[in-house]
């Protein structure tokens, strides 16, 4: 079953602008991960944030995690046309199987 819910479902911006995607989840987690999927391709891991972390950076990516609100956000700064893809959050649920539970994704289009 889907735990994460991304918001918005689709986002269209101009090159150079920032893109923010949000993810909400329902149960206690061990960690939360963000993945990118280009059309028709596999998943590329972007960032993993653990439940005891609040913010993490990687290049132009910034991820926040608020466990009290059960939500996370992914910010892509100074977006590029090559960032056009679908972005998924996935949670590793605490205390059980090591499987990832995915959200439905945000489709990001960056217009040149």
Partner 1 sequence: GEEVAQTPKHLVRGEGQKAKLYCAPIKGHSYVFWYQQVLKNEFKFLISFQNENVFDETGMPKERFSAKCLPNSPCSLEIQATKLEDSAVYFCASSQVPGVYEQYFGPGTRLTVT
List of residues contacting partner 1 (CB under 8 A): 2, 30-31, 33, 35, 41-45, 48, 86, 88, 90, 92, 97-102, 104-105
> What residues does 73 pair with on adjacent strands?
22, 64
Least separation in angstroms between CB 106 and partner 1 = 10
Residue whose CB is less far from partner 1, 15 or 30: 30
Torsion angle of C-alpha atoms 86, 3, 20, 42, degrees rounded to 10: -20
Least separation in angstroms between CB 48 and partner 1 = 5
Report phi then psi at 83, rounded to 5.
-80, -10
């Amino acid at each position: 079953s889907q735990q994460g819910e991304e918001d918005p479902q689709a986002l269209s911006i101009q090159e150079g602008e920032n893109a923010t995607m949000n993810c909400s989840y329902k149960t206690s987690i061990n960690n939360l991960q963000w993945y990118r999927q280009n059309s028709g391709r596999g998943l590329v891991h972007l960032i993993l944030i653990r439940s005891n972390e609040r913010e993490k950076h990687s290049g132009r990516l910034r991820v926040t995690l608020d466990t009290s609100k059960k939500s996370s956000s992914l910010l892509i700064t100074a977006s590029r046309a090559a960032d056009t893809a679908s972005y998924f959050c996935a949670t590793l649920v605490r205390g059980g199987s090591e499987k990832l539970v995915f959200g439905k994704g945000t489709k990001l289009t960056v217009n040149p």
